[in-house]
Amino acid sequence: MTDFSTPVQFGELQLKNRVIMAPLTRSRATVDRVPTPMMAEYYAQRASAGLIISEATVISEEANGYEKTPGLFSDAQVEGWKGVTDAVHAKEGLIIAQLWHVGRVSHPDLLQGETPVSASSVQQAGHVSLLRPKREYVVPRALEISEIQTIVEQFKQAAIRAKAAGFDGVELHGANGYLIDQFLQTSTNHRTDSYGGSVENRARFLLEVMDALIEVWGAGRVGIHLAPRGDEHDMGDANAKETFGYVIEQLGQRQIAFFFTREYLADDSISLEMKARANGVPYIANMRLGREDALDLLASGQAEAVSFGKDYISNPDLFERLVEDEPLNELKFENMIGTDVAQGYIDYPFMNKQLAES
C-alpha cells in the first residue's frame, strides 16, 4: 500500500518518499536578496523530505512584494543559493526553486516608487503585508504586451540561474493571487487583447512562462503551484473548473513533472477534477492536511504526494514524525518571518539526537 515512505517518480525527479516540504516565505535573505548560511542550515535540516520546494524566489527586483525574500537575478544570489543546494544534496535531499513575480501584491515603497503591475488596473482590497505603518494596496498598472514578453524572459533567465545554483528543477508560482494568477482569473484580468477574455487568452501568459522554463530544464523537472479556490489576495474566477481544468489539460499535454494545488479538502474542492484532466501528471495535495487525511489521499491514489507548510517550519524531521506517528512540535509565531535570529527558524528540536546529527 502506498504510504509516506513509498518512493515515487515525478518526471525526471526520483523522490525517496511522498512527503513534500511546501514553499514557505521566511524573509531571512539579505537586503540584496542573497540567501545566507543560516538558510542553508534550515533547508538541510529538512532534507529528509521527498522534495523541498524552496520559498518563493523573485525573478527581478521589480517582482518583489516583501523585504528580504531571496532572488535569482544576480550572481551573488546564485552563489548564495549554491550554499543551500549543496547543503541539501549533502543530506541526499532534492530541492527545486519556486520562481515568483508578485504583480499587484506590492507597493511603491517596495519598488523604489514605481507602481506595481498586473494584468489589469484592478486594486486589491486590504493592506500591504508586513509594511508598517499600514497602507492600502494601490491601483496597479496594466502591463503592455511588450512588457509581458520581458517578464517571460526574466522567468527564463531565473530558471537558467536556478540551474547554475544547483537546484534539481523549478516550480512556477502560479497561485495565491500573484502575477501569473492575476492573468489567469477573471476577477483581476479585464483585458481585451490576446491575454484577456477567453480562458485560452487568460492562460496564455502562464503557458508562455511554463514553455520558457521547459526550454531550460525539460518538462520533467518543471512543476507548477496553483490555488483554484482563489482565497488569497482578493482573487476569484467566474468558472474555476473551466479555468484551472484548461490549464491542467495544457500542462498535461506537456507532461510536466507535477502540479501542486493549495486547496483544502472540502465538498467544493476541484483538485481531483483537475487531476482527472492532467494526462497522468502527478498531483501534490496541500493545505490543512492532517496525518490521516494525508495517508488516505496516498492510499487511495487521489494524490501522488502530500505537502506540508507550517508543520515543516516547526518540525525539521516531519517526515520521520509522520511515519512513526509521533507528536509534532508547536509552531512559534514570533520570529516566524523577517528576522535575522536563529530562534523560531533553525532551533526546533528533532525527535532524537541521532536524527539531528545525521
Q: Which residues are catalytic?
A: 178
Q: What is the DSSP letter of 144?
A: P
Residue pointed to by grid coordinates 512556477:
172
Q: For the chain, how big is the Rg over CA atoms in Å? A: 19
Q: Which residue has the cell 518583489?
A: 64
Q: How far apart are CA 288 and CA 321, in angstroms?
A: 17
CA atoms within 13 A on the CB side of 68: 14
Rounded CA separation 137/108 (Å): 9
In the chain, at which residue ranges do the beta strands (DSSP E only) sit?
Answer: 8-10, 13-15, 19-21, 51-58, 95-100, 117-118, 141-142, 170-173, 222-226, 258-262, 283-286, 305-308
Determine the residue type at 265: L
Distance of CA 49 to the CA centre of its chain: 16
307 bridge partner residues = 20, 286
Gap between the Cα atoms of 310 and 327, Å rounded: 14
Helix (H, G, I), strand (E, B) or coil at 234: coil
Residue with cell 473551466: 242
- β pairing state of 8-10 and 13-15: antiparallel
